[in-house]
């Protein structure tokens, strides 16, 4: 099932994206699927006539992992760390499909990072890897935009990773997906940048979430970004970046200099 958040000009609402007679449609649902049973409102819109929004705004946080694909660690001159390298993005970094990424004034080198994002379904603390599937609502595409020059300049990655609009997600949450071997690609203005597979993660989804849950409590709607494959590159102002994950869809965002 594909859960989208969208607007037709009124207040945002949730819907289920399904094909009907060869056309993708959005079936409106009541409430918030993280907290309420999925019940149709009876409204139907062609997908092409709605504006998709970030499918979830995390209640508390986005937890990310660095260097979780060996070839990407190597391309930036890093080793795969012995301990998973976690960091946070604030929920104010999250934007949706088509939303502009506002390049921060202090960076001349903002890079794209295509990532599989996990949407947490229920409170998650001290779980085992085997328990993780019960805590996952679904998956979406994410772009962990990174001010590479700021990242080189400081040990903490606040300026590099946490700036407003640095975490586009979408186009929707896919609830029926096996995350273990999905093709993941990115492009800049249609030119291929990354072309990898989630099978190359050093630490798989369940292991990451179990380990994160030993540190913090994950809340419903929180996101876990699972690292990026090799091929990252700077996305200049005026370019359009796309992240595509097999079985999920494509997330597209323009890069804009404020
Ligand atoms: Mg990343």
Tell me the C-alpha distance between 27 and 1, whole Å: 12
Measured in Å, residue 52 CA sits from the centre of ligand 1 at: 24
pLDDT digits (tens, 9 = 90+) for 109-155: 999 999 999 999 999 999 999 999 999 999 999 999 999 999 999 99
Measured in Å, residue 114 CA sits from the centre of ligand 1 at: 7
What integer pLDDT is reported at residue 10 of this predicted model? Answer: 83
Question: What is the reported pTM?
Answer: 0.97
Measured in Å, residue 22 CA sits from the centre of ligand 1 at: 36
Mean pLDDT of 26-35: 93
Tell me the C-alpha distance between 124 and 107, whole Å: 35
Tell me the C-alpha distance between 142 and 118, whole Å: 9
State whether residue 188 is helix, strand or coil: strand
Long-range contacts formed by 239-243: CB under 8 A, 24+ apart: 239/188, 239/189, 240/188, 240/189, 240/190, 241/101, 241/112, 241/143, 241/186, 241/187, 241/188, 242/186, 242/187, 242/190, 243/112, 243/114, 243/115, 243/141, 243/142, 243/143, 243/168, 243/184, 243/185, 243/186
pLDDT digits (tens, 9 = 90+) for 40-49: 999 999 999 9
Going from the N-terminus, what domains does the chain have, and what CATH number goes with each? 2-52 (2.30.30), 62-257 (3.90.850.10)
Mean pLDDT of 184-190: 98
Measured in Å, residue 123 CA sits from the centre of ligand 1 at: 24
Q: Are 197 and 70 in contact (CB under 8 A)?
A: no
What integer pLDDT is reported at residue 258 of this predicted model? Answer: 75
Measured in Å, residue 66 CA sits from the centre of ligand 1 at: 5
Mean pLDDT of all residues belonging to the chain: 96
Measured in Å, residue 88 CA sits from the centre of ligand 1 at: 11
CA nearest neighbour of 117 among 143, 135, 85: 143
Measured in Å, residue 151 CA sits from the centre of ligand 1 at: 12
pLDDT digits (tens, 9 = 90+) for 216-249: 999 999 999 999 999 999 999 999 999 999 999 9
What integer pLDDT is reported at residue 131 of this predicted model? Answer: 98
* In the predicted structure, residue 55 carries a pLDDT above the cut 80: yes
Measured in Å, residue 75 CA sits from the centre of ligand 1 at: 13
Measured in Å, residue 3 CA sits from the centre of ligand 1 at: 24
């Amino acid at each position: 099932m594909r859960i989208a958040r969208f607007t037709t000009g009124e207040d945002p609402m949730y819907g289920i994206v399904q094909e009907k007679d060869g056309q993708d449609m959005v079936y409106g649902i009541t409430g918030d699927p993280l907290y309420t049973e999925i019940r149709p409102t009876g409204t139907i819109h062609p997908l092409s006539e709605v504006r998709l929004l970030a499918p979830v705004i995390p209640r508390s946080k986005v937890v990310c992992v660095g260097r979780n694909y060996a070839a990407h660690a190597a391309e930036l001159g890093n080793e795969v760390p012995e301990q998973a390298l976690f960091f946070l993005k604030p929920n104010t970094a999250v934007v949706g499909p088509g939303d502009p990424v506002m390049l921060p004034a202090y960076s001349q080198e903002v890079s794209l990072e295509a990532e599989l994002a996990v949407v947490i379904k229920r409170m998650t603390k001290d779980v085992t890897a085997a328990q993780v599937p019960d805590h996952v609502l679904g998956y979406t595409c994410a772009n962990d935009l990174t001010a590479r020059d700021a990242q080189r300049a400081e040990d903490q990655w606040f300026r590099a990773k946490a700036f407003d609009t640095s975490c586009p997600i979408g186009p929707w949450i896919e609830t029926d997906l096996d995350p273990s071997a999905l093709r993941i690609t990115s492009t800049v203005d249609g030119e291929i940048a990354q072309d990898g597979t989630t099978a190359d993660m050093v630490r798989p989804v369940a292991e990451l979430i179990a380990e994160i849950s030993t540190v913090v409590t994950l809340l419903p709607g929180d996101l876990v970004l699972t690292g990026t494959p090799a091929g990252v590159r700077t996305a200049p102002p005026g370019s359009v970046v796309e992240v595509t994950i097999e079985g999920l869809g494509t997330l597209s965002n323009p890069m804009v200099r404020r």
